[in-house]
Amino acid sequence: MLEQILLSFPKKPTTRQLEVEQNGVKFSVEFKKVKYLRMRAGNDGTIKVSAPLRASRVQVEQFISSNSAWVEEQQRKYAMKSARIEYFTEAELKIEAVKLSEYWASRSGLVPERIRFRRMSTRWGVCNIASRVITINLELQYFPPECLEYVIIHELCHLRFRGHKEEFWRLVESFLSDYKARRKMLR
Ligand SMILES: [Zn+2]
């Protein structure tokens, strides 16, 4: 979120919307009761700008221009995101994850209480050892099925071993001999 204080504008009391295009990027500007100009990236590749009611079009355009580096960064991120291959829809991922965890639970004897799903930015899976609840990151929909299977086995193995000591990895390997290659795909 970027902010810039605007001082002493001519009075313009109505709420307005404005579409601005600069260097092929679409900015959807909304004038509302805010003190500062702000920008955030929308999920569709557009940039949403909130502007104080009294801000002028020129001020909005200047604000956009002065933050071109930030805008470029958002465009780059959006391009990377939209180029991703979707291996599963969200619904498919959930079904597949439940199937795999049932299969591996029966093979390993490591049975979770429940599988749940979330979008997470730092972890592919979480195993709550006390409640035996395993959380799977929905972002795995952008990785091949082998990765999902690896994450499930990894989390199931935490039902026996808390940390990532040698004994833990030995257990993972006993179920999945190529786990290192699969882990690599997840970076
Ligand atoms: Zn782990």
pLDDT tens profile 70-124: 999 999 989 888 888 999 999 999 999 999 999 999 999 999 999 999 999 999 9
Percent of the chain having pLDDT more than 70?
A: 92
Q: Which two tokens stand for residue 1?
A: 């979120």
Domain 90-185 has CATH 3.30.2010.10: yes
| Residue 4 binned pLDDT confidence (cut-offs 50, 70, 90) | low
Residue 65, token pair as written in the block: 């221009």
pLDDT of res. 58: 94
Three-state DSSP at 93 gives: helix
pLDDT of residue 27: 94
Distance CA 125, CA 148 (A): 9
134 CA from centroid of ligand 1 (Å) = 11
DSSP-H helix ranges across the chain: 57-66, 68-82, 90-108, 145-157, 166-175, 179-185
SS3 of residue 185 by DSSP: helix
For ligand 1, the distance from its centroid to the CA atom of residue 137, given in whole angstroms, is 13
3-state helix, strand, coil split of the chain in percent (to 5) is: 40, 25, 35
Q: How far is the CA of 130 from the centre of ligand 1 (A)?
A: 15
Locate 123 and state its tokens: 């972890």
Q: Rounded to an integer, what distance in angstroms lies between the CA atom of residue 148 and that of residue 143?
A: 7
Pairwise CA distance, residues 154 & 161, whole Å: 10
Between the CA of 142 and the centroid of ligand 1 the distance, in Å, is 20
* pLDDT higher than 70, residue 184: yes
Among 3, 4, 5, 31, CA closest to 17 = 31
Burial class (CB in 10 A: 0-12, 13-18, 19+), 172: buried
- Sorted by where each begins, the domain ranges of the chain are 2-82, 90-185
Centre of ligand 1 from the C-alpha of residue 131, in Å: 16
pLDDT at residue 45, rounded to an integer? 86
Confirm whether pTM is higher than 0.75. no
